[in-house]
Structure 1
């Protein structure tokens, strides 16, 4: 009897839950899925930022022009981009390390200092290379035609940009290797067209800069009468000690008629587009795709399609960028705007599995409860079968008064349990049939009692 009562209580709770399955099962499952989806969306697979900061260069330099083109391209993809002016590559690298910029242009050779220590201070976030986007020349312009070596800059007035500029950083590194101390040179902080004009006025002896061949200051100085592009000797020895440099030939008339007047050997270095550590992978992929848009054409020092690439990078390459540079964007990012593609990816990665899970649970749990209810009704049918067996198959003489009382108690318990039940409509016919069978068995029991 106790087991029957306990089983009946559980059965009634199951029936109540099944009868209110929308409120007690499906709505809680839906709420749980919404919470899980929100947590996954914000914590496991958050949307990429809608704003990037790009650290470029000086106003009349190639880096600032590149940064402006990147910002325009990001805008076409639905992202806001802010460009920061910069005196040069050292500052750009520091901004990445401190998280003040997301992307920055940095000239080759900035990964390590001459003594072999990392450029970034310990504890700062590492950076990754999105792509090598340009080839820059090391230009040394002077009014003195006899300058053939960097050592001849000793004692002269040289403009190589501000103290934190990449131009001065590189020239001082090269001079130190040739045993020319920083104090042996009369440094000027002028750069760009200001330095060019000072050289024209004979206020300077030389101007050193790292720039692309079509940079305005390079073109200006190549056209200026009395200013000569120095042909630095010993380039092979310089490259041997500074492997981030390369020797290229600037062909005659490659920049215009008489620019340069003769084939000119020139030291070059690569321009890197770097990303700060922890930048969202989707933004890295988009940045790599933008470099293909901006730098994919032919230039003086490279052929069509040669850049951008990730060969001989100073910093670890971004795996996301490598994939894009090799194969292009994939999935929704290849044929949809950037922001809608990110929404679609998250709906597929997060929403689709959770939707399938929710649909499954919303069907399986009610189905399981329905099965439990049917199984319970079937068990009562089984008990009635046993009672009918005792009453009909066995002889009446074999059924004593104690046995009749026990059977009657079982019938009363089943009758009481079924009387309190509230079953769903689809199980009501079974319930009515069960009640009819109970009444039939009770009538048989009353007949035995009357004998």
Structure 2
């Protein structure tokens, strides 16, 4: 039974041996396609945020918590704001960062290799002023001449933006006593009376803004000409701080305030992995998608309000929502399956030509087990032919006896050869040829023929 089992329809061992090199080549191409052509997203990313306790800082921590659920480590990188984040992006020190609209333009962004993931929220210009006894409230930016104003920290977007506001009002920065402290020390200077005002360009979530809106002796500048500012500076929008939004019970503020606002944008380097862009945009939808002081439900994030070209993955999300697979499975599994098309292309490029190589290789490997014995048979025949025909009979008999013993050994070893049933005719052909060579040996040595005759009992 064991011998019969050796004769099967095919030989798994030979099939594996024949297809092995092909499988290794395909596996190598698969691995190269998986790692090089479409590499897996990195598990770490650096996010440029802002000053301590600023809205950028707070949101940066929320993004880190959101992406941690998908196995991505987001490292917040503090900065003074938009201008510094732009520099960090260009220098490659951060992969993605918060940036205020108006910080750069489309041509410069394309030149620097930057893409937008969409606008996230409005960042109104908050100009807080200290009440001065006996002095009227400031209602025009031209009235700031001679006052000490903190226009924002160096590296933030506020100084550049506020200088643009002064410029359209015909006020030179030199006509003010300008300082550029960080937000917290600037707030302390204002509260202690050592400065007349300070400028923020931030979301209302900023803790310092929340505090100043409720601080006695400090009031918010009302941009009554907000619509005109948006015409002069197109990256700005006109927003309204509604009456009572801060505290309905105390009626804070006591009336509507008109404000002008750039938008906060999530900006990334163009070489950021597409899968990470998808993750950040999905996190943005969860973090910024609700209603706020200046936005309606679902207004943000958006592909609008940004002068930087929007990344293709982000634009697709705003149009169609999250990728289909990521709606029903984990990020890493969805990403793997999404990248499988690269492997399918690699497989299609290899499996068709290589499939034509494996069958002939398999046939050759099976038949080589049989055909190599024909070389041994030919050696036996050659030894018979080389024996001197006119020599002593005993010498010829010795040669025949030696070659017959050798032939018997060949036959024993051939009997141990197993091949698939489809190649059995080749094996039986070899056995018949062994018998043919044996008859030839015996015919040349009659005495040896008698020695090998089997006498029945």
Q: Could you tell me which runs of 5 or more consecutive residues in structure 2 were left unpaired when the two chains were aligned.
A: 1-11, 367-410, 437-457
In the other structure, the counterpart of 1:432 is 428
Name the counterpart of 2:177.
186
Counterpart for residue 78 of structure 1:
71
1:231 matched residue in structure 2: 222
* Selected match of 1:203 from 184, 190, 194: 194
Q: Specify every segment of 5 or more residues in structure 1 that has no aligned partner in the other structure, as ranges.
A: 1-17, 375-418, 441-451
Distance 2:192 2:345 in 1: 71
TM-score normalised according to structure 2 size: 0.73
Matched, 1:308 2:301: yes
2:32 and 2:362 map into 1 onto residues whose CA distance is 32
Is 1:126 aligned to 2:113, yes or no?
A: yes
2:235 matches 1:244: yes
Write the distance in 2 (CA, Å) between the matches of 1:373 and 1:202: 95
Which whole-Å CA distance do the structure 2 matches of 1:233 and 1:79 have between them? 45
Aligned-pair Cα RMSD in Å: 3.4
| Shift in Å, 1:119 | 5.4
> Contact 1:29–1:361 at 8 Å: present in 2 too?
no
Instruction: Map 1:5-404 to 2 at 5 A.
Output: 20=14, 22-23=16-17, 25-112=18-105, 125-144=112-131, 145-257=136-248, 258-346=251-339, 348-352=340-344, 364-368=356-360
Moved over 4 A (4+): 18-21, 117-120, 350-364, 368-374, 421-424, 433-437
The alignment's TM-score, normalised by the length of structure 1, stands at: 0.74
Give secondary structure in 2 for the equivalent of 1:309.
Answer: coil
CA distance in 2, matches of 1:310, 1:118: 18
1:11 matched residue in structure 2: none
What CA distance in whole angstroms lies between the structure 2 residues aligned with 1:370 and 1:39? 27
Classify the secondary structure of the residue corresponding to 1:237.
helix
Structure 1 residue 152: deviation in Å? Answer: 1.9
Shift of 1:432: 3.5
Q: How many residues align?
A: 375
Structure 1 Cα separation of the partners of residues 192 and 108 of structure 2: 37
Matched residues in 1 for 2:202 and 2:363: separation? Answer: 78
Offset, 1:343: 3.0
